[in-house]
């Protein structure tokens, strides 16, 4: 039989090549399957909470804090893990029940980082509460620097735009809905497939979180107090406080009275009059887009998502200042904002984790 096999091989070189290719293919498939099994733990960590921030100034500990540092230090996120698909190592507590991430700023980084985390086979996030928090610009008609707002809605700004210098003279600004022909129409038509501008959150959970934190005494700063005293809006002049207010996310780092009015109109329009613009940022609709994609895959539960933004600056200049000067010079509330984010957010986090069997089975407020 060996002689016969050699004759076939010699007479049929194509068969010999085909056999080699089949063997190589089988070996490749074997090693690929083995590699995937090696990367997928048999018992993913059952995560109870994820803390989502967008940036850190320097190291995770021991220097001037960005959004992440206080969470790492005060919630004892002592373990550092590689984050394939992310921009910064993941932090975890020693019990492997709480994770913290830095997503990177802007919508694209927020979306990509949340997708990467949600698809990571090392973690079971199916019952995890996701606390999205970060600093933001605040509407002076709504709150003051250092204040913290729990959102019921997250809004995006997919839109049409005409440079105001070329727009009709009676237009208040150049942005308008994709389904409209002018800014601030009385209503909007059905959303195009690419323009999902409204992301409703679990309003009952948000209201519960607000109830746990509304009476917290937030920190203040004499320099910030003097700065806000120049504003005429009463909410802007108040010491920092906790409120309910919605999140408007845009890849534009915009500033000014005109754009603040645009944000007020946009949030009211897309929420059907139910939402109130409070905080402007560059990430939240990206996070929610990823979460909405992950939910049908049973990777996360969108009903367990909380969005908390804290004000590091106003979204428009104080009287007498120009928008460009205010945009560049008046971000004086970063430390207040990150302190408020940790104090308000951790109060809710600890309540969620204190009786985990109950909050695993039943979402508070629902």
pLDDT digits (tens, 9 = 90+) for 191-216: 787 778 999 999 999 999 999 999 99
pLDDT value, residue 40? 54
Whole-angstrom distance, CA of residue 154 vs CA of residue 139 = 15
Is 187 a domain residue? no
CATH of residue 328:
3.40.50.1580
Whole-angstrom distance, CA of residue 312 vs CA of residue 138 = 8
Note the pLDDT tens digit of each residue in 30-51.
443 344 344 555 799 999 999 9
Is 325 a domain residue? yes
Structural domain for 304, as ranges:
45-158+196-361
For residue 297, pLDDT over 70 is answered with: yes
* Residues 49 and 30 placed together within one structural domain of the fold: no
Whole-angstrom distance, CA of residue 118 vs CA of residue 293 = 10
pLDDT value, residue 192? 80
* Residues 6 and 149 placed together within one structural domain of the fold: no
Whole-angstrom distance, CA of residue 138 vs CA of residue 276 = 12
Note the pLDDT tens digit of each residue in 98-139.
999 999 999 999 999 999 999 999 999 999 999 999 999 999
pLDDT value, residue 16? 46
Q: Average model confidence (pLDDT) for the chain?
A: 90
Note the pLDDT tens digit of each residue in 231-276.
999 999 999 999 999 999 999 999 999 999 999 999 999 999 999 9
pLDDT value, residue 36? 38
Percent of the chain with pLDDT over 90: 82
For residue 319, pLDDT over 80 is answered with: yes
For residue 10, pLDDT over 90 is answered with: no
69's CB contacts (< 8 A; 6+ apart) are 56, 57, 59, 60, 61, 63, 338
In 168-298, DSSP assigns E strands to 175-176, 198-200, 242-244, 246-249, 277-281
Note the pLDDT tens digit of each residue in 348-362.
999 999 999 999 999
pTM, rounded to two decimals? 0.88
* Residues 11 and 56 placed together within one structural domain of the fold: no
* Residues 65 and 9 placed together within one structural domain of the fold: no
Is 212 a domain residue? yes
pLDDT value, residue 331? 76
* Residues 350 and 292 placed together within one structural domain of the fold: yes
pLDDT value, residue 285? 98
* Residues 336 and 357 placed together within one structural domain of the fold: yes
* Residues 149 and 22 placed together within one structural domain of the fold: no
Whole-angstrom distance, CA of residue 75 vs CA of residue 335 = 18
Whole-angstrom distance, CA of residue 97 vs CA of residue 46 = 6
Is 285 a domain residue? yes
14's CB contacts (< 8 A; 6+ apart) are none
* Residues 235 and 285 placed together within one structural domain of the fold: yes
What element of type H or E holds 307? strand 305-314
* Residues 203 and 340 placed together within one structural domain of the fold: yes
CB 336 within 8 A of CB 146: yes
* Residues 20 and 75 placed together within one structural domain of the fold: no
* Residues 220 and 328 placed together within one structural domain of the fold: yes
pLDDT value, residue 289? 97
User: Average pLDDT of 182-195?
Assistant: 86
Whole-angstrom distance, CA of residue 53 vs CA of residue 46 = 21
137's CB contacts (< 8 A; 6+ apart) are 255, 279, 280, 281, 311, 312, 313, 314, 315
Residue 102 CA neighbour count, 13 Å, CB half: 23
- Looking at the structure of the chain, the number of domains it has is 2
């Amino acid at each position: 039989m060996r002689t016969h096999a050699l004759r076939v091989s010699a007479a049929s070189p194509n068969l010999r090549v085909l056999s080699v290719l089949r063997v190589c293919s089988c070996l490749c498939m074997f090693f690929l399957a083995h590699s995937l099994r090696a990367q997928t733990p048999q018992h993913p960590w059952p995560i109870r909470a994820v803390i989502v921030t967008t940036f850190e100034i320097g190291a995770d500990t021991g220097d001037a804090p960005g959004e992440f540092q206080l969470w790492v230090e005060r919630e004892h996120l002592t373990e550092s893990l590689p984050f394939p698909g992310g921009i910064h190592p993941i932090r975890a507590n020693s019990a492997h029940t709480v994770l913290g991430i830095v997503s990177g700023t802007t919508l694209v980084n927020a979306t990509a980082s949340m997708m990467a985390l949600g698809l990571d086979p090392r973690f079971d996030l199916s019952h995890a509460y996701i606390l999205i928090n970060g600093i933001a610009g605040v509407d002076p008609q709504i709150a003051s620097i250092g204040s913290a707002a729990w959102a019921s809605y997250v809004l995006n700004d997919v839109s049409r735009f005409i440079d105001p210098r070329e727009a009709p003279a009676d237009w208040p600004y150049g942005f308008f809905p994709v389904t409209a022909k002018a800014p601030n129409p009385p209503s909007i038509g059905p959303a195009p497939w690419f323009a999902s501008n409204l992301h409703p959150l679990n309003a009952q959970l948000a209201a519960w979180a607000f109830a746990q934190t509304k009476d917290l005494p937030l920190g203040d700063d004499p320099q910030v107090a003097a700065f806000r005293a120049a504003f005429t809006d009463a909410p802007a002049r108040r010491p920092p406080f906790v409120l309910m207010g919605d999140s408007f996310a845009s890849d534009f780092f915009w500033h000014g009275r005109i754009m603040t009015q645009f944000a007020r109109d946009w949030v009211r329009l897309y929420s059907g009059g139910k939402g109130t613009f409070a905080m402007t940022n560059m990430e939240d609709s990206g996070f929610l887009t990823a979460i909405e994609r992950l939910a049908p895959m049973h990777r996360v539960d969108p009903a367990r998502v909380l969005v908390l933004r804290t004000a590091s600056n106003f979204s428009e200049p104080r009287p007498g200042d120009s928008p460009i000067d205010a945009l560049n010079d008046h971000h004086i509330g970063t430390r207040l904002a990150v302190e408020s984010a940790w104090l308000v957010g951790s109060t809710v986090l600890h309540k969620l984790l204190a009786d985990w069997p109950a909050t695993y089975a039943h979402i508070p407020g629902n």
